A and B are shown apart, each in its own frame.
Chain A
Amino acid sequence: MGSLLTGLVMSYLIIWATVGLDPLSFFTTFYQTLVSYTGLLESLLFLTILGTAISIAFYGSYWNVGAEGQYVLGMLGAIYVVMFSPLSGFLSGNDLVSAAVLKLAAILLGGALGALWSLIPGLIKVFTKISEIPIMLLMNYIAYSLSDYLTAGPWKGRYTYGYIRTDMISESARLTVIPGLETLRYEVVIAAIVVLVSIYLILDHTLLGLKFKFLGTNPTALKSSGFDERKVTVSVATISGFIAGLAGAMRLLGYDYRLPYNIGDGKTGFYGYTAILVAWLSFRDIRFIVPSAIIVSALSSFGYRIQMSLKGLLPPGISAYAFSQIFIGTTLIVYTLTRITKEFSVKLVIRR
């Protein structure tokens, strides 16, 4: 927690040094963000799901910075099932059951595509030892391009009024809004809970989870005990990607309802990147993912509000993007530093 506050203060100092925003409006905006929580809940859920996906990857030493791309692939899978696949015919009637089944299929396919997108860098890592990080980051951009290609090409909508985008998915394919909390969907809430619980079970109560933990801390011990670290890496990559894909699928079915063009231009909300911070802040402990997601969504929303208030001050303005990036970076550094001094104070003493 301390590191968060420090990160916050540091970011403020950076902003103040470069732009000169007064402290009062800075912190007032912060307060306002916390108060309007309904918007927060929406991003909280997605950050929880994505944060879990990335967190479990971290356990296995797999730096899933490609969650953004897996998220996009999830969206692609979902819209394919409900709009372009032969199965979409099931949506025409008033049959709630088949609609539900179809939505489930869409979500699962989204997960599968996400898993695939994560599997590719995973396999590359296993067979060539090349770090997955640059590959996943590059693949994020390939994912954006793929989405754009489909949106402008085979999936181009008919009722688009001149914009390049797909059509909206039909009513029956959309996720159910929770009355009273219009920003939420039942399915997403359920999914978040299911994902959290399953991951917790896997990590602490299965052999697979144990293997993940060893992969991330001492792969040699894993190998000498009879396990194939390559298989474990592949498992981690697949599970992580699957969950990220699920998130994307649900985003499309529950909120976006269509694919836009130039999706890489922020239209995904960059959840895949912010979720990295969530995973990091959770101290490699599943129990802290939700609190961490709360804080991060508060801060992202805060970022947007700052941008609004700054709009009056500078012409181009510092975008929320910039702010959140800096914030992520400084918090990570501060957090890492505090973790170090805590855990390794003993070792530092020995050195001299």
Chain B
Amino acid sequence: MNEFLDWFVRTLASAYVVYTLVGVGNAIIERSGVLNLGIDGLFMLSASLAYTYAIQMSSLIQTGFLAVGISLLLTAATTALLYSLFMVLNTVLPISQGAIGLSFMFVGYGLAAIVGNIGRLIFSLQRVRIEYISITHVSAVFIYLTTILAVLLAYLLLYKYKLGVLIRAVGEDPRLVSQIGVNVTYVRLLSGLLGGAFIGLGGALFTLWRVGGWSQGQGLNHGWLAYAVSIAGWRFPPLVALVSIFFSAAYVLLPHLQSLGMPIEVSTAAPYITSIVLMVVVSTLHRKSRLLADPKSLGRSFYREEQV
């Protein structure tokens, strides 16, 4: 039993951390009114970036720990920048956010493959020790704590500081907010930086902690799973963290039902089915609370036209 718990906690941590961070990042972004449909592509890209950064770092920095740490930060920063571009495009171009999101998704997929392969190439050319590409020297507790702190940070920023007020206001009624004199594009850019950093960190931890390596197609669909968690948590960071626990537990345990006789294909599909069911069930519950409701202008294009 102890062994099981030990294994469970460790494995759960890796899934939990990723889904929570990415889910919270998505919450920040969508709270500002932009549909984050590029999430899967950008997640895959950040997973690949982390790997390649780590490989690069290994030749520059001697300490494994430091190298990995820097890779995490670099990935978070890169994803943050990419997302800020995404947000600006979505706000400035009066076209469907779905279109822009899908474009980013595809580009993300493609770039992820290229970036990852570059990393692999370098890997094969130089001998890179394992400690540069995976976080083996830090206990799970530390990572858990960091995640919880990150969630707390997100909550505080969104609900206790003006930054969050701006982000949420823009998600509710961007036209009104711009009439008050606030630069909507700037606010969306900030939320992209912040949310993107979270997502990038989640992707980086996916590669460096959970997998400890890279292979083609790494991370595919995990972006969508995190998206489902984000929706199920009503885009409210503390709730996202809570939902993530249950979801991650299910995700980790379900494949092992195979030993109880469930065919492997079903357990592969299980997380996807669970995600869908989760999203549907959650949405049927009433959401009158002002903190939990959908941002009123989510997905709507922003026109700064004069109205008669």
**Which residues in A have some Cβ–Cβ distance to B below 8 Å?**
14-15, 18-19, 63, 65, 124, 128-131, 133-135, 137-139, 141-142, 145-146, 148-149, 152-153, 276, 280, 314-319, 321-330, 332-333, 336-337, 339-340, 344, 347, 350-351
A145 near B269 (CB under 8 angstroms)? yes
Q: How far is the CB of A336 from chain B (nearest CB, A)?
A: 6
Whether B99 is near chain A, meaning CB under 8 Å from some CB there, is yes
Q: How far is the CB of B281 from chain A (nearest CB, A)?
A: 9
Q: How far is the CA of A205 from the CA of B219 in the complex (A)?
A: 45
A133 touches which of B98, B109, B304 (Cβ 8 Å): B98
**Beta-carbon nearest neighbor of A339 in chain B:** B95
A145 near B283 (CB under 8 angstroms)? no
A141 touches which of B95, B272, B283 (Cβ 8 Å): B272
Interface contact tally, CB-CB below 8 A: 145
Listed residue (A128, A317, A344) with the most chain B CB atoms within 10 angstroms of its CB:
A128
List of B residues within 8 angstroms of A337 by Cβ: 93
A333 near B107 (CB under 8 angstroms)? yes
Contact flags (1/0) for B189-229 with A, using CB distance below 8 Å? 00000000000000000000000000010000100100110
Whether B6 is near chain A, meaning CB under 8 Å from some CB there, is no
Q: Which 7 A-B pairs have the closest CB atoms?
A: A329-B107, A326-B110, A322-B113, A325-B110, A145-B269, A329-B106, A149-B265
**11 A-B contacts, Cβ less than 8 Å apart?**
A63-B102, A130-B231, A137-B40, A138-B221, A145-B265, A145-B269, A315-B121, A325-B113, A329-B41, A332-B99, A350-B305
Give the interface SS of chain B, mostly helix, strand, loop or mixed: helix
Q: How far is the CB of A211 from chain B (nearest CB, A)?
A: 20
Give the interface SS of chain A, mostly helix, strand, loop or mixed: helix
A14 near B272 (CB under 8 angstroms)? no
The verdict on A315 contacting B124 (CB below 8 Å), with A329-B103, A332-B103 known, is yes
Size of interface on B: residues with Cβ below 8 Å to A: 53
Q: How far is the CA of A18 from the CA of B112 in the complex (A)?
A: 12
A336 near B100 (CB under 8 angstroms)? yes
List of B residues within 8 angstroms of A344 by Cβ: 94
Q: How far is the CB of B135 from chain A (nearest CB, A)?
A: 24
List of A residues within 8 angstroms of B275 by Cβ: 134, 138
List of B residues within 8 angstroms of A142 by Cβ: 269, 272-273
Interface residues of B in 135-185 (CB under 8 A from A): none
Contact flags (1/0) for B103-135 with A, using CB distance below 8 Å? 111111111011101101100100000000000
Q: How far is the CA of A142 from the CA of B94 in the complex (A)?
A: 34
Known: A323-B110, A333-B100. 20 other contacts (CB 8 A): A18-B118, A124-B276, A128-B283, A130-B279, A133-B98, A134-B227, A134-B275, A134-B279, A135-B276, A146-B265, A148-B265, A149-B269, A315-B120, A322-B110, A322-B117, A326-B111, A336-B100, A344-B94, A347-B303, A351-B305
**Beta-carbon nearest neighbor of A153 in chain B:** B263
Q: How far is the CA of A135 from the CA of B263 in the complex (A)?
A: 23
Whether B9 is near chain A, meaning CB under 8 Å from some CB there, is no
Whether B266 is near chain A, meaning CB under 8 Å from some CB there, is yes
Whether B87 is near chain A, meaning CB under 8 Å from some CB there, is no
A317 near B40 (CB under 8 angstroms)? no
Whether B3 is near chain A, meaning CB under 8 Å from some CB there, is no
**Beta-carbon nearest neighbor of B224 in chain A:** A134
Q: How far is the CB of A145 from chain B (nearest CB, A)?
A: 4
Q: How far is the CA of A181 from the CA of B268 in the complex (A)?
A: 40
List of B residues within 8 angstroms of A332 by Cβ: 99, 102-103, 106
Interface residues of B in 24-59 (CB under 8 A from A): 35, 37, 40-41
B110 near A145 (CB under 8 angstroms)? no
Q: How far is the CB of A17 from chain B (nearest CB, A)?
A: 9
Whether B280 is near chain A, meaning CB under 8 Å from some CB there, is yes
B102 near A347 (CB under 8 angstroms)? no
Whether B284 is near chain A, meaning CB under 8 Å from some CB there, is yes
B107 near A138 (CB under 8 angstroms)? no
Q: How far is the CA of A139 from the CA of B103 in the complex (A)?
A: 20
Q: How far is the CB of B251 from chain A (nearest CB, A)?
A: 13
List of A residues within 8 angstroms of B108 by Cβ: 329
The verdict on A351 contacting B114 (CB below 8 Å), with A329-B109, A332-B99, A339-B95 known, is no
